[in-house]
């Protein structure tokens, strides 16, 4: 992930076929916490997401059967 300041100029090149997703918008209203695949404005919500993941409360990805455990850190 790359966060750019307003007015920044970026040149993207690739040595093979590639896809690029560019997202933009207004700055967020405060800090965000990131842990593994979880992002939230609240550390408590990250902890809740960890528990929900361990207890299988997230929707399954169609066609996937393997459970990926949480990282240990």
Q: pLDDT digits over 47-57, tens only? A: 999 999 999 99
Rounded Cα–Cα distance for residues 39 and 32 (Å): 7
* pLDDT above 70 as % of the chain: 100
Residue with tokens 């007015």: 7
Q: Do 58 and 50 form a contact (C-beta atoms < 8 A)?
A: no
Whole-prediction pTM: 0.66
């Amino acid at each position: 992930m790359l966060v750019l300041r307003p007015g920044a100029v970026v040149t993207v090149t690739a040595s093979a076929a590639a896809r690029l997703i560019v997202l933009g918008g207004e700055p967020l209203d405060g800090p965000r916490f990131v842990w593994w695949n979880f992002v939230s404005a609240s550390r408590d919500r990250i902890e809740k997401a960890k528990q929900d993941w361990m207890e299988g409360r997230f929707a399954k990805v169609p066609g996937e059967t393997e459970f990926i455990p949480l990282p240990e850190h």
